[in-house]
Amino acid sequence: MSHPLPGIVVTGISGRMGQMLARTIAASDKAQLVGAVERAGHAWVGQDLGLAMGGSANGVIVTDDALEAFSKAQAVIDFTAPAATVEFAALAAQARCTHVIGTTGFEPEHLAKIKAAARHAVIVRAGNMSLGVNLLTLLTKKVAAALDADWDIEVIEAHHNKKVDAPSGTALMLGQAAAEGRGIVLDDHTESGRDGITGARAKGAIGFSAIRGGDIVGEHDVLFAGEGERIVLRHMATDRAIFARGALRAALWGQTQTPGEYDMLDVLGL
């Protein structure tokens, strides 16, 4: 007897990532889209998702009732905003759904609430869902561990002009990896948003620079600058589909895990 495919709900369905996720799940033979959530009052609520996306009807009606949608699903994929994600985490835990979080820009109090929800459900949270970037974090940690504080570390990231948070979640993930390699606490050694007479760069600091423009999907460089030489580790995303594929992989992986908070390194077995 064949088992039905795991059902997945996508939140923030009208957004760029929401629509990309809907298309990725529809094209997959490992999962099915069973729900689509938008905020109350959004024009898509009550509409057939396929029609709302400009295609043919697919029978998935967009809803603003997240709990009702989650209760019929095995996983939720969520690229929205911090406050919304915290609410979704509590509802996904209630529905015992795997919650895959690609949202970035969290404050410590948001993360504490997500951690509490992870006692009851599987949560996979990653600043970036791509295989390449997760390999880059491992390389960054290794290189940082091999070099002393005479090497300056800068994380340089570029994104499209609609991105609202900076540095990006991925840049912070890379900075965290560099800090771990060095055996230091990132928050105590961060240098970002330089402007005016800033004085010399602090020794041992991890710097962040953000570029915003056009339709850049995501580019991240980790620069290690020493006397007379530099090492640059780089990842360039040219298609948002890599994040959707990673998120789907995380949702399927979560089906066999025990409740807790995981990241993409866990999913990828890295």
Which residues carry out catalysis? 159, 163
173 neighbors 198 (Cβ within 8 angstroms): no
**3-state SS class at 261:** strand
Residue listed under structure tokens 């589909």: 241
Q: What are phi and psi of 141, to 5 degrees?
A: -60, -45
Provide the strand spans (E) within the chain: 7-11, 32-37, 62-63, 75-78, 98-101, 122-125, 152-159, 190-192, 206-212, 218-226, 229-237, 260-262
Cβ neighbours for 71, distance < 8 A, ≥ 6 positions apart:
95
Determine how many CB atoms are found less than 10 A away from the CB of residue 237. 19
- Taking the CB of residue 81, how many other CB atoms lie within 10 A of it? 17
The span from the first CA to the last CA of the chain, in angstroms, equals 34
Which of 72, 85, 79 is closest to 115 using CA atoms? 85
| Residue corresponding to tokens 């990725």 | 24
Residue type, 104: T
Please tell me whether residue 223 adopts helix, strand or coil conformation: strand
Residue with tokens 């390999």: 135
